[in-house]
């Protein structure tokens, strides 16, 4: 069964609706984004969620100090790194982390092996104004010729209920990550959240 992460959570009502629908992880964006939240907002939501829902903080080129402080304050389970963090930086972090990769071509997938100590690898599209959460997808076929640990693979980038089945069939990720695909007019839509999670859990 494919796990589901809903990213860009800003409201408790959306978080708890996702939790009730069977979501496995929720993402709080602390980097520059239209979905950015404060640590206090994330903490307020995080502490009221069921323990089985993993809380993930999304960062871009944050310092070790900021990551450690945010991890503790917001009650996170993982930090998700979307910047130019080096393998050495990640090795010395001493926090459970997800390394995100912006995929333009097949060669970008080869960088995964430099981050073997990552808890998960998140593959996202390289197009759009932000480091992630742009609602665009990359060519999933790039993964066909690559040896990747699919038990650590999170697929992001332009996923929605219409392309979800095809994405899972081609990529076979352990988790899918959705944000704009469960929004209406830029706001999380509880009905879309429930439909997306229910569909993903079929595969």
Q: Which residues are catalytic?
A: 7, 124
Q: What's the distance, CA 61 to chain centroid?
A: 16
Structure tokens at 90: 């990640």
With tokens 């609706």, the residue in question is 17
Q: For residue 125, what is the enclosing H or E element?
A: strand 120-125
Q: Which of 132, 129, 138 is nearest to 173 (CA)?
A: 138
Provide the 8-state DSSP code for 36. Answer: B
Pseudo-torsion of CA 129, 121, 139, 131, nearest 10°?
A: 0
* Three-state SS at 177: strand
Say whether 148 sits in a helix, a strand or coil: coil
Identify the CA nearest to 39 among candidates 74, 69, 82, 4. Answer: 74
Rounded to whole angstroms, the Cα distance separating 5 from 2 reads 10
């Amino acid at each position: 069964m494919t796990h589901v992460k809903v990213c860009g959570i800003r409201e408790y009502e959306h978080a708890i609706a996702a939790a009730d629908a069977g979501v496995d992880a929720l993402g709080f964006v602390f980097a520059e984004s239209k979905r950015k939240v404060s640590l206090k907002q994330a903490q307020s939501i995080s502490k009221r969620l069921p323990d089985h829902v993993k809380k993930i903080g999304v960062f871009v080129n944050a310092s070790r100090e900021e990551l450690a402080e945010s991890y503790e304050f917001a009650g996170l389970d993982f930090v998700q790194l979307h910047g130019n963090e080096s393998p050495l930086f990640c090795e010395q972090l001493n926090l459970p982390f997800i390394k995100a990769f912006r995929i333009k071509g097949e060669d970008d997938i080869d960088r995964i092996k430099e981050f073997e100590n990552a808890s998960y690898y998140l593959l996202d599209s390289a197009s759009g104004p932000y480091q992630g959460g742009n609602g665009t997808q990359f060519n999933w076929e790039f993964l066909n010729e690559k040896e990747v640990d699919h038990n650590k693979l999170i697929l992001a980038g332009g996923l929605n209920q219409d392309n979800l089945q095809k994405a899972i069939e081609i990529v076979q990720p352990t988790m899918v990550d959705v944000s704009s695909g469960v929004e209406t007019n830029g706001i999380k839509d509880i009905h879309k959240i429930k439909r997306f999670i229910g569909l993903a859990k079929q595969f």
